[in-house]
Chains A and B, each alone.
Chain A
């Protein structure tokens, strides 16, 4: 049995201190009101204790001034808490430009992570310190939740859609990774670790574990193996739309609607092609659901993404992105939310 009794988890991300500050403020508010009520209640109960069996206290109906005061003051305080919490939430939702990207698949009962450089890990994730890391996550089966207490970060990983989340680690070390959404028999065994490394050490780790095949290259191979290339030709002569330069840009659909081609749109177009058909094309593509698993889908998405818009190399992209072109602006899922149900 451990001897020490910590009250706060370690702070290891840019958000951790901000979350703890709100937590500390709420503890202050709670202690104040908790004590106020407890002390008042107990002292009234003692001061006005019954002294004789037939005691009849005076009649007090109430006080409008007091009712207004104890409605308005708590209302003001909770509105401060609301705005503070909302501000923090939006900061968590807004991915910084040019993050390092990692793809995550939750599967009963393990976490599978893929780096753009091709490294694949199970129940582990290695990231550099000081670089924003964006996670694009989905599930092969039930709902899971990616939870790293040291980062104060949690995001449900829902089958059939992509959830996006990000963090920026501030301290090297190894931290718990938990599944926080009940997922069946070995839910409590679906745990792992996130290892935060100094940038140089991370580069060494990346080089050491390199498979030689980047995520986009793996996706390109799938693109050929699944014969996607026969229709999605790069010379615009295929039966399907050309995919070069599509990612991150608006697409006009047969319905006249315009959507931005993000990760979720690409994924949907593979598993449910008739949902959003590009204007000028026939709905002839068959579904690939069941033919390629979620990890393969992520490789295909990474490949289409690598064909995407103009590159703006950011710190994260420079660190771990061998893909020739990523589109950081488009990859930033800042509010307002996309028309499609991309998780967030």
Chain B
């Protein structure tokens, strides 16, 4: 297979599309019905089946993490800590954070949608290392089992941040089990990232140059770089916590000569880029949705593609903005603040380009587009409030308050989960071969958007008023805003249950989907829904740019 690297001036001469690709007849055998039985799933090396294994696992983790959130919001309806005890409350927010961050948000889009789509989008038969891909899922499940063991055997109360010396010396909970669970899970991320990088480099279809790649693939390429470069650091960090707890090494405990601030440096060196692991793939999804539902080439393709890489690279240099009041030097704070403002720019550029893509487009208001518009709105609020936290003198007041809680939920829930749900709806016909009920889906998208804002917007005000995060009980003057937030959370919870119900329903009762129900561009829409195990009947050849929605013959790179 030959691939051309770099943007060709006008692309190679265009042969007519092979007839098999233009509108393939639905094959009798597809990846879903090619084999039956538990064994055919647990031993599969098909990236599409592995994606579905991940889909089931991360959905389970999402509802588990969500159940903890429900209890947290119930407790905070009243100022007194009267629903659960302090110890229980602390375990609830810790497990909510650990499960949502490490076992839902980080794997969600890459391991489900990325796994399913990257090989198809680049015209490959599978990922570069199919067995390694299956191993990633087993490692994920093993790590999750460790963490759930920590949970059922009594829980962890350190917060998902595991700050030393509380985690290393003072906590009496199952820190070691939870730490090992995350440590193990990290290998799953590393292997997935490695697999994606090799696949994207080596397995693109003939004619699919780097600058013809769908932006979803670019976003996953940037994400994979963070997986491979960042995850080992959190693995080492958590291992040192485990070792310090077990052997009293004195890496972080000042009484043994250690430095608790060192932990924060190591932890955030991974955990800040981890935020970009969550948001970059969602941005990739949004680029696909915005183009398909406005039938436009993305405005400024190379800028949007390169901004993903810029975010991945600069994102590694901003970790110290979590530590402005920690005792880090004033000048270090100055540099981290500066770099944090810089990383805001590529994100802003993406938002402007998505907006400009709609200009003179043909915009439809299907559910995935509702999620895309919701994403842009919520991500904009999340990004702009990031500026508040990046400015040194203001961060002193708002750090470690509900302002931070609201900010990162706008990015992670408002951004990453909206992107994930938008993507799930968009590719649902491709994944399952069935259409979901459009009316219910729109209702759910609106409910989620409204519930989300009611839940998290009041928390910005709470934070500025001074309510610290991780408080089991709080002064009475904060109650009104907390009640609003809890009311919003119940709406949000309902919103999340709806897709669960109608998507499962549609797998059996939904109308059959055609190969390309959205009239979308991209190789994944040129094969059957659901695809055959080999993805394509014959090797596709790419002869046009990504998102060539315009009239045939007009497409040229400016």
Contact = CB atoms under 8 A, between A and B. Distances in A.
A178 B325 contact: no
Contact of A143 (B163, B338, B352, B394): B163
A58 to B, nearest CB: 6
B398 to A, nearest CB: 8
A124 interface: no
A334 to B, nearest CB: 10
Greatest chain A CB density within 10 A among B353, B360, B468, B473 is at B468
Q: How large is the interface on B (under 10, 10 to 19, 20 to 34, 35 or more residues)?
A: 35 or more
B330 interface: yes
Nearest to A337: B329
Given A30-B384, A41-B373, A182-B470, A337 B330 contact: yes
B468 A30 contact: no
Interface in B274-316: 294-297, 299-301, 303
A329 interface: no
Given A60-B299, A61-B558, A159-B254, A147 B468 contact: yes
Contacts of A163: 327
B344 A49 contact: no
A55 interface: yes
B461 A7 contact: yes
Contacts of A189: 86, 473
Interface string A144-187: 01010110111110111101000000000000101111111111
Interface stretch (B53-61, B165-173, B201-209): B165-173
Contacts of B550: 56-59
Interface string A117-158: 000000000000000000000000111010101101111101
Given A38-B377, A75-B345, A49 B364 contact: yes
B259 A48 contact: no
Given A1-B479, A86-B337, A154-B396, A67 B171 contact: no
Interface in B362-389: 362-365, 369, 373, 376-377, 380-381, 384-385, 387-388
A10 to B, nearest CB: 10
A90 B333 CA distance: 10
B551 A56 contact: yes
Contact of B387 (A81, A180, A289): A81
Interface residues of A, number: 96
B235 to A, nearest CB: 23
B294 A48 contact: yes
A57 B166 CA distance: 59
Nearest to A152: B397
A149 B481 CA distance: 17
Contacts of B400: 145, 147, 154, 180-181
Contacts of B365: 45, 49
Contacts of A90: 330
Contact of B337 (A1, A85, A184, A341): A85
Contacts of B299: 60-63
Interface string B519-558: 0000000000000000000000000000001110011011
B126 interface: no
Contacts of B353: 62, 67
Greatest chain A CB density within 10 A among B161, B170, B362, B472 is at B362
Contact of A9 (B341, B380, B466, B476): B466
A71 B297 contact: no
B355 A37 contact: yes
A317 B323 CA distance: 32
Interface string A4-21: 011111000000001100
Interface of A: 1-2, 5-9, 18-19, 22-23, 26, 29-30, 33-34, 37-38, 40-42, 44-45, 48-51, 55-63, 66-67, 70-71, 74-75, 78-79, 81-82, 84-93, 108, 141-143, 145, 147, 149-150, 152-156, 158-161, 163, 176, 178-189, 191, 272, 289, 335-337, 341, 343-344
9 contacts: A8-B465, A9-B466, A37-B380, A57-B360, A82-B337, A142-B169, A182-B470, A184-B170, A187-B90
Given A19-B397, A50-B363, 16 more contacts: A2-B477, A5-B480, A26-B387, A44-B358, A48-B362, A55-B362, A62-B301, A78-B344, A78-B387, A89-B333, A142-B169, A142-B170, A147-B466, A153-B397, A154-B397, A158-B326
